[in-house]
Each structure stands twice: as structure tokens, then as C-alpha cells.
Structure 1
Amino acid sequence: MTAYFERLGEGRFRATEHTGGAWDLETQHIAPALGLLAHVVETDRDARRGDGLVVTRLSYDILGTVPVEEFEVDVQVVRAGRTIELVEAALSHAGRAVVRLRAWLMAPRDTSDVAGTPHDRIPAPDETEPWDPTSVWPGGFIRSVEVRRHQREPGRAGYWVRTGVPLVAGEEVSRLSRAVGLLDIANGMTVRATPEEVLFPNIDLTAHFFEQPEGEWLGFDTTVSFGARGVGLTTTVLHDERGPIGTSSQCLTVRPVPHPLHSGS
């Protein structure tokens, strides 16, 4: 099966049709690209050190769109450390930065005696009904995923997502990076208003993990909020089949679509 990306050389990749976007079919859905940047951070870590630092926070700024074409990535260590380090990665197209990532990595240690969370669990994948996201969204990425969803109300749902499409052709990719490649789907899985009524793309995504993801399903307990001044927020508690493992948030620019009768005014 074709992957989301093909490696062309050191720091160079080509996007495939599976990355096709939901807002614009000619540009990439940014979700797989976020997973790719996590992957290059982990690949760079493994080339530099072998002591098992884990990614605990990923903070992405989305600076624009990127075509379904070739692009470049770059990684550098911002703050080196024995047990904690900060790494920055960037994705660029035609000399223009499109996404910037800052990732904190930390040394794991045994804290099982105090482990726990008050976040509620969501029903397991086999307890959740299948749902077709192409009923709302177009694009190659949306077609590439399987979704099971319990919709509570517009802008509020619990759901599970998985994909059989590899992140990078011919490369071993961690479960974390594969999961991160699904995170950005959250903004479209429980819409407050249809994309025909309101545009609400996100300009960032920040995820924190207190457990590393396991298994093929990634769970989302998502709430979408629109403010009264053109700003929105999608917040999610992330799950695997063991229970909650972290959180993510996305800041939205909310833009009602003009009524056709008034589009020329």
C-alpha cells in the first residue's frame, strides 16, 4: 500500500495522494505532515543518542498550506540535556517554512505507584458505531482513515481513528509518530457547523502525552467551541485502548461563509 510520504533523500520527501486535504484538494491535509515531523525528531534523536528519551510535548505552528508535492524538513537541537531536551523541526516548500515544531523529550522513569488520571474513559472501539467521515469531508487523507464515533451533540463527540496507510514508505515508524499523524483530524470529526456554512481551519496544534500510545486505534474525546469574535478552539483528551494518554488543542480561525445572495456585496 502506498504510504503518505516517500523519502527522496536526506531531509527530502514527496507527498502522495493519501495526503490530499479536506479544505483544499490541491494541498496536503496537515495531519500526516505533523506525524512526519514527529518521526524526523525521533529519527534524529536515535541517531544522536540511545538512552530512550520519549516525546512528551509537540507544539506545532501552521504557517500556511503545502501542495501535494516534494518538500524539505530540517531538525536541530535547541536545548540539549541528559534527561530533558528541546528539539525544533521545520517543514518547508519552495524555500518557505510551512510548519514549525518544538518538541520536548524527557527520560522515562518508573512512576507506576502514583500513576492515574481523573479523565473519563470513552467507550472502546468495538463499543462504538462506524462512521463515514467522507459524508462531511473530501480528500485523500479522509478517505484513508477508519472512524468509529459516538456523536453527543454538534461539536462534542467521542471517536476512534485508525489507518492502514504507512506514514513513510519503507521506514520503521514509532507508534507515537503514527498516532501524531492522526491528531489534526480532531478539528473535523464533530463539527459545530458544516464546512459549507463556516470555515474553521486551525493555525496550530499542541499535544501533551503522559503515556506513549499503544495499539492501532487512537481515541479522541473532543469538544469544539466557537467564540463570538472569529476565534475557536478544539480540545481533545487522547486515548488508546488502555484509557486516556494525553491531550491536544487547536486554535481555530472561524469564518462564516457569505450567503450566495450577498457574495457580491
Structure 2
Amino acid sequence: MKRIAIYGKGGIGKSTIVSNMAAAYSSHHRVLVIGCDPKADTTRTLYGERLPAVLDVLRENRKPDASEVIHEGFGGVRCVESGGPEPGVGCAGRGVIVAMNLLEKLGVFEEEIDVIIYDVLGDVVCGGFAVPLREEFADEVYIVTSGEYMSLYAANNIARGIRKLRGKLGGVICNCRGIRNEVDIVSEFASRIGSRVIGVVPRSSLVQESEIEAKTVIESFPESEQAEVYRKLADEVYLNTEFVVPEPMDPEEFEEFFRKFRGDD
């Protein structure tokens, strides 16, 4: 079983990458996607609409069965959303902890699954979001970032967390925002933390067009170049055997690194 955790700053495009990778895998593998974000929006484009999150289900039924929290989406991908508390109330990471415990209790991780992908928020300092790694639900980690300062800053902090947990970083995914020299910036960042860029996802209007219809690019535009980008990324991750414990930059080193590119923004 391939158990993958995708981390990155909120809003950087993790959910789009996760859902399209899952759609790519679905033609040959049995896939489970677990959204570990309080927004509970990872699986919308796989299922076609927002799913009831685990925390929401538990509020109505303290002993749900698997069919109430796991829903089949495009290509047979099984979809779960951990969810979170009401805004301003409770711990944002609690949904991850509760969801993992429930799925384990229901025996989901013992079923015949080829690929599990976790979509994990990476710019909130909360132990709940470390659960996929800390509790060994995931074996390998990939960081999604753009070439923007705050995205890279979050990525460096994520690398620090991976190192603390002795996790295995498989690479950095550059989700382009269209800034100058973006791939060069992300490539140098990856090198600085001892890793590499494993995939580059260009900006594309097909992403928004697909998401308006609550579909992945692979479902909406299967023959497009963008769909092929996601398939290639999925293959690179699936076949990857190069992992490192990252070496995050200290604050001064990070500022020096980013200042080098300031004139290229």
C-alpha cells in the first residue's frame, strides 16, 4: 500500500493536486483520499459535491458505520473528509485526530487499498495536522508550494516538522502562480532543504473550469495537456524511491535565500 501525505500552505492548491492525482491513480488502483482540512473541500471535485465531514456525522450519530463517512467518487475513489469545529470554536486539528481514530476503528486501513492520499493543511501550528505522520498513517510526504514568499515560508516550516517527526520527504511540488523564475526559485528552495522538485504544475484555466463543475481536470478534460501533467506527477510520486529527512533553513538563511530573488518578482 502506498501511503502519501501532501502538505502545503492553505490555498496553495493541494486539494486540486490531490484530487487529480487520485483521479489519475483510479484507472489502475484502488484509492482512498482523506481530506485533513477543516474546510472539508478536498474531495468535492471527486465526489461532485461537498461531503458530510466525519465530525459532522459524529455530531448526529456517535456510532456511524463506514458508509456514513466514506463515499465513492469518480473512478471509484473512496473519499473521506475529517472536517473541523465551527469557526472560532475548538481545535482545528481535532477533526484529523477523530477521523483517523474512527477510520482505524472501522477497519478501513485493513481493507484492500493500493493508494491512500492525505491532504493536510500545513500553515497551522497544531498537533492534529501532524497525525498522519506522527501516528504513522502515512509513509512519505510531499510539499506543495509556489515561488511566493509565504508559500515557501510555510514549506520551510513544514520541512521542520517533517524533520522533527523523522518523516520521509519525497520531494517538492511546484504549483505555479506565474511569477518570474518560479521554477528556479522552488528548485533552489528544494535543494536548500536537501530535496528536489518532483513535479511542476503550470497555471491553467482548465482547473477553474473543472472546479466550477465540481470535477477534476482528468474527468473534464482527459485529453488535455494539464491532465497529462497530473498523470505524470502521479506516476513520479508512485514510483519514487528517493526520500530524505529534510534540513530546513533557519530564519536568517531563509531570508537570505528569498532576498536573492527579490528583484525577479
Whichever structure has more helix as a proportion of its residues is: 2
Q: Structure 2 length as normaliser, TM-score?
A: 0.23
Q: Structure 1 length as normaliser, TM-score?
A: 0.23
Whichever structure has more strand as a proportion of its residues is: 1
